[in-house]
Every structure is written in C-alpha cells, then in structure tokens.
Amino acid sequence: MATCGEVLVKLLEDYGVEQVFGIPGVHTVELYRGLARSSINHVTPRHEQGAGFMADGYARTSGKPGVCFIITGPGMTNITTAMGQAYADSIPMLVISSVQTRNQLGGGRGKLHELPNQSALVGGVAAFSHTLMSASELPGVLARAFALFQAGRPRPVHIEIPLDVLVEEADDLLASVPVNIDRAGASPSAISRMTELLAGAKRPLILAGGGAIDAAAELTELAELLDAPMALTINAKGMLESNHPLLIGSTQSLVATRALVAEADVVLAIGTELAETDYDITFAGGFEIPGKLLRVDIDPDQTVRNYPPHVALVSDSRNAAQALLSALSHKSLAERRNDWGQVRAARLREELAASWDAPTLAQTRFLETVLHELPDAVFVGDSTQPVYTGNLTFNPERPRRWFNSSTGYGTLGYALPAAIGAWLGGSVEKGVRPPVVCLIGDGGLQFTLPELASAVEARTPVIVLLWNNQGYEEIKKYMVNRAIEPVGVDIYTPDFIGVAKALGCAAEAVNGVEQLRSALRVATDRQGPTLIEIDQAQWMQAVSK
C-alpha cells in the first residue's frame, strides 16, 4: 500500500524535483517514508527560515521551484519570512506542511503545534494555500502549483496535509501524470501597437526586470536593433554583458539615470514591477516616465500598478520579445537622434563613474577582486554595504549570477542559507558547479549563523565573505542623519573565526587585496564552506594606500 505521503514524493519526482529542504519532526515523518526511497536529495537546515532561504537560492540558480517539507505550527511561522522574500521577488517555492487531523482543524483543543488557522496565516505570503482534505485531491493541487510555476507569475505555494490524510491509502494515484503548461503568447494586436510606437521612437529605452531574464538574448538583440539604452533591475543583472555599449546598469535610483529615462520618448518596461526598491530606493520618489510607456508582464494586475501604461501586454517576456523582434524586422525605423543610444549610455556611464565616493570605490574594488579570482562566481547577498554598492556598480556577465535580499522584502540573514541552496541549484558545466560567494555583514550573519553547520553537513563549498563593521552601521547612519540618538545598533560582535571553526568551517581574516586573493584561491579547492572575514576599516585603509 502506498500512502498519500509516499505518492506525494513520487509525483514530485515526476515533476522533476531533485532537492528538498526540511527539518523532520513528528508531524512530517510520513513524508520521509517516501523520501528515503526516492532519488530526491534532502538537506537539513538548522531553522525553517533557513529551509525557505535555501529553496529561494536554489530556485534562482536552477530556474526550478525550491521545495520544502515543513512541520505544523512553529515550522510554518518560522518559514513565513523566507516565503515573504520569495513572494516579493516572484521566486517559485513549494512549501508542503503537515497540519492537524481533519476533525481537529481549528478546534482549539491545545493540540501539539496547533494554530487556529495555519492556512490563513500563510496565505499572505503565498500565491495560494490549500488544505488537502483527501488524498484524491493531491494530483490536482500539485498541477495547480506547477502550472503557476511554469506559466504564471511564480510565487510560493503552500499545501498543507492533515495528519490523517498523510497516511491515507493512495495506490490509485500512483498512475497520475504531471501537467505541463506553456507560457502565454503575445497578443498580435498589442504587439502591433507596440511595434508602431517603437519603430517611430527617436529615443527608445528598455527597462528590464527579473521576470525577463529568460529573454536575455532576445532583449539584447532588440536593444541593438532599436539602439535603445537598457536599464536592469537588481534581479535582472547579467542580461547584458558588462561591457555592452547600451547597458546603463541598475542605477535607476540615481539622478543622472533618472534624467536619461525622462528623455526617452518610448519606454518598454518588461518583466518589472517598476517598484520602489529598484526605482525609488531613496524612498523619496522622483522616478518619472514622461514618454509613452509600454508594459509587458505575465501578471495582468502588474501591468497597471505604479505607472499606468500607454499599451499593456500580458505575455511571457521571451515570447513578447521574440514577437517584437519579428515585427520590427519588417518595419522602417525612425531615424534615431545622433546623441542617443550608445552615445547617451556612454555619457551616463562616465558621469556615474566620476561620481562614486571613496567608500563606494573601495567596496567596488572588493567585489572586483573577488570576480578577478572567481570569474564564474554566483554572488548571493544580504543587506550589507558591499551589496548596496554592488547593486549600483557591479555587472555580472550572465543572468542568475547576482541576487540579494536588500531589495523587495529586504530580509537580514538571507545570504548564507540562500548561498547553500544556490550552490545546490547551480548548473554543472564540465563536471563542476560555479563557485558561490555569500556577501553578508556581521549583523546579518548573526541571524542565520548556525546554517554554517548545514553547509558543512551538506558539503557545499560556499565562500562566506563577512564584511564586518561591528554593528548595524547603515541603520546607525540613518538614525544620525535624522537626528535620532543611536540605540540598539552597536551590537556585540562575536569571534566569527572561532565560531566558524567550531562549526566545522575553514575560516580566516584577511587584510587587503593580495590576502583576499590568496584566501579565495585556497577556498575554491575545499569540499566544504569557508568563512573569510574582512574588517571594513582595515579594508578601506589598505586599498586607499
């Protein structure tokens, strides 16, 4: 006899799931009965929030949904922060949990791990939350989840299975087959209207977001055809190569870039929310799009949020870009202004390069040193100063190589567990996964420090670059700038080297470029994680000499 829990694991295998993150507990052991005999790998974090962040990082590098097995009650309240980050950044995540037996749901009888309404609690950070009231519903609800991941705006999905349903006989479901959904194509009428506007534009510009990263090749060709400068959100970094003459980076929060956007007569925004953390990071507003705005998004609701469009198209970004390319290839394009396109983009890059202050240059030097030694690295960041700087100055060569929690939901402690997941989800080329670098501050690392033990156990050779400024320096500056006496920001700084070694990691402190390069070279040869501590004040002093 196959139970519902065992059939669930089999169906996940059929959907191509290769990795699960979770902490076994008395309410989830029936999921593990099937898992032990499957081909799916399991990683045990030290906290359910870590499981969610690992699934997030895995999804970002692999392009597949990250899957978690989570226990009732505290397990679900623990993972909601990670689900919130994934929800904000449109990351596919499948969270499967247990819940009380059907006859005990909402009973308030003081059962172990009981919540009044677990599904309702989680619903705010999920595309949907479904309570499986019988095993027969399982294939249908999984089909809903994977249809969303495959063809809709991917966000976390929660499926909770009552304890009595988990053990329900489900042999008849073993023959169930996965459902595969194609993404939405582009409406010919909308493409025609957008084509006319783009063909007639003298100063076209493209704003590309993380929802468009699978259309990188097509959008690059489209930008070149139109001679259109392209700005990328943080999650879209790498869609254009760093030296591409039309790239204007991820600097939409800066005055100079906003001025360029305001000059454009037609703006194509594709796969982007046009939201605060990519465009109004100062929280003061000021980002304007006076030109005709064309919006492409897989989510109909998103096409009209924040900035109303002149023309909107609900479509997969790649399908839309391909359709626009095809239509524009048969059009005569208006003569572009000779000070637009590559010329205007180059002038902006020069203006920005001349504006960076000493800390920005020092932190950029730090990132460039890492990239010099690890040219194929994936950078997974937290909310910390080098990440804020990198969001402005750093441009990887390929998509899915730079992402962090400083945008969107803005969680602390994200980078370490997400880096573990990112390494597990990395594509294997010539038998080797690309190295994964975790960029995290001393404050953020203390949120998820025990996940170093998870990295040791899972043999994931992530390189943790700890930027240590002995507290919450950015918040301290913010308080001082607002004439608030700093409180709670000068926190105790532990011996990170000692803690990391106690948890089984290699660890050392470095001072200066050459020491960092040497430490990175040694770290890449290890089978497990390495922590490299960089004291902010010492680094600034060393690189300023």
Q: Write down the pLDDT at residue 274.
A: 93
Cβ(138)–Cβ(148) under 8 Å? no
Environment class of residue 360 by beta-carbon count within 10 Å: exposed (0-12), middle (13-18) or buried (19+)? middle
pLDDT at 106: 77
H-run or E-run covering 445:
helix 442-448
* DSSP conformation class of 3: B
- 515 burial (CB, 10 Å; 0-12 / 13-18 / 19+) is middle
Calculate mean pLDDT across residues 410-428: 95
Q: Do the domain assignments include residue 491?
A: yes
Q: What is the pLDDT of residue 112?
A: 78
Average pLDDT of span 256-267: 96
Same domain as 31, residue 100: yes
The confidence band for 545, taking pLDDT boundaries of 50, 70 and 90, is low
Domain boundary among 331, 349, 367: 349
Domain check: are 220 and 129 in the same one? no
Q: Decide: helix, strand or coil at residue 164.
A: helix
In this prediction, residue 286 carries a pLDDT of 81
Q: What is the pLDDT of residues 74-114, one digit of tens each?
A: 999 999 999 999 999 999 999 999 998 888 877 788 787 87
Name the percent of the chain lying above pLDDT 90. 83
Same domain, yes or no, for 157 and 213? no
- pLDDT tens digits, 511-544: 999 999 999 999 999 999 999 999 999 998 888 7
Angle subtended by helix axes 415-425 and 451-458, to nearest 10? 20
**331 phi, psi to nearest 5 deg:** -110, 150
Q: Is residue 466 situated within a structural domain?
A: yes
Nearest to 233 by CA among 217, 255, 213: 213
- Do 62 and 156 fall into the same domain? yes
Q: What integer best gives the mean pLDDT of the chain?
A: 94
What would the mean pLDDT of 328-336 be, rounded to a whole number? Answer: 86
Residue 524 belongs to domain with CATH number: 3.40.50.970
Q: Give all strands of the β-sheet with 402-404 in edge-to-edge order.
A: 402-404, 378-381, 436-441, 463-468, 530-535, 506-510
The Cβ of residue 17 has, within 10 Å, a number of other Cβ atoms equal to: 20
Q: What percent of the chain is predicted at pLDDT more than 70?
A: 99
Burial class (CB in 10 A: 0-12, 13-18, 19+), 308: exposed
Domain C-terminal end among 349, 370, 385? 349
> Quick check: is 476 in a domain?
yes
**pLDDT value at residue 279:** 77
| DSSP, residue by residue, 37-94 | TSS-EEE--SSHHHHHHHHHHHHHHHSS-EEEEE-TTHHHHHHHHHHHHHHHTT--EE
Q: Write down the pLDDT at residue 105.
A: 79
On the question of pLDDT at 129 being above 90, the answer is yes
Q: Which structure tokens are listed for 521?
A: 């070279």
Q: Is the pLDDT of residue 464 over 70?
A: yes
Q: What is the pTM of this model?
A: 0.95
The verdict on residue 30 lying in a domain is yes
Which of the 8 DSSP states describes residue 245?
Answer: T
Instruction: Judge if 151 and 219 occupy the same domain.
Output: no
| Domain assignment present for 183 | no
Beta carbons within 10 angstroms of residue 169's beta carbon: 12
Q: What is the pLDDT of residue 284?
A: 63
Are 318 and 363 members of one domain?
no
pLDDT bracket for residue 232 (50, 70, 90)? very high
Q: Which ranges of 249-298 does DSSP label H, i.e. alpha helix?
A: 255-263, 276-279
Q: Are 172 and 160 in contact (CB under 8 A)?
A: no
Please determine, for residue 283, whether its predicted confidence score (pLDDT) is greater than 60. Answer: no
Q: What is the mean pLDDT of residues 308-312?
A: 96
CA 316 – CA 151 distance, rounded (Å):
8
Q: Do the domain assignments include residue 180?
A: no
Q: Is 63 left (phi over 0), alpha (psi -120 to 50) or beta?
A: left
Domain span at 59? 4-173
**CATH assignment at residue 275:** 3.40.50.1220
Q: C-alpha distances in angstroms, 261 versus 102, 290, 297, 310?
A: 55, 8, 20, 16
Task: Mark whether 153 and 261 lie in a shared domain.
Answer: no
Which of 144, 173, 202 finishes a domain? Answer: 173
The whole-number pLDDT of residue 272 equals 96
Same domain, 367 and 470: yes
- At 445-459, the pLDDT tens digits run 999 999 999 999 999
Which pLDDT score is estimated for 281? 64
Residue 182 in domain: no
The secondary element (H helix, E strand) that includes residue 420 is helix 415-425
Q: Which helix (H) or strand (E) holds 156?
A: strand 156-162
Q: What is the pLDDT of residues 478-493, one digit of tens each?
A: 899 999 999 999 999 9
Answer for the pair 423, 433: CB distance below 8 angstroms, yes or no.
Answer: yes
Q: What is the dihedral of CA 501, 503, 504, 505, to 10 degrees?
A: -60
Q: Are residues 240 and 340 in the same domain?
A: yes
Give the residue, 106 or 381, on which the prediction is more confident.
Answer: 381
Dihedral angle of Cα 335, 338, 341, 343, to the nearest 10 degrees: 170
322 and 446 assigned to the same domain: no
Q: What is the pLDDT of residue 107?
A: 78
Q: Which of 58, 60, 83, 59 is nearest to 70 (CA)?
A: 83
117 close to 145: Cβ distance less than 8 angstroms: no
Q: How confident is the model at residue 1 (pLDDT cuts 50, 70, 90)?
A: confident
Which of 334-338, 417-421, 459-463, 472-476 has the weakest average pLDDT? 334-338
**Is 178 inside any structural domain?**
no
Domain count, the chain: 3
For the chain, give me the number of helices (H) and strands (E)? 22, 17
Are residue 345 and residue 366 in the same domain, yes or no? no
Residue tagged 């898992």 (tokens): 35
Is the pLDDT score of 347 beyond 70? yes
Nearest to 463 by CA among 405, 525, 394, 537: 525
Q: Which residues pair with 375 in a beta bridge?
A: none
DSSP 169: B
C-beta of residue 158 within 8 angstroms of C-beta of residue 119: yes
Q: What is the pLDDT of residue 334?
A: 81
More confident residue, 407 or 422: 422
Q: How many residues does the chain have?
A: 545
How far apart are alpha carbons 424 and 438 in whole angstroms?
14
* Residue 246: pLDDT over 60: yes
In the predicted model, is pLDDT for residue 375 greater than 70? Answer: yes
Average pLDDT over residues 21-43: 93
Co-location of 54 and 92 in the same domain: yes
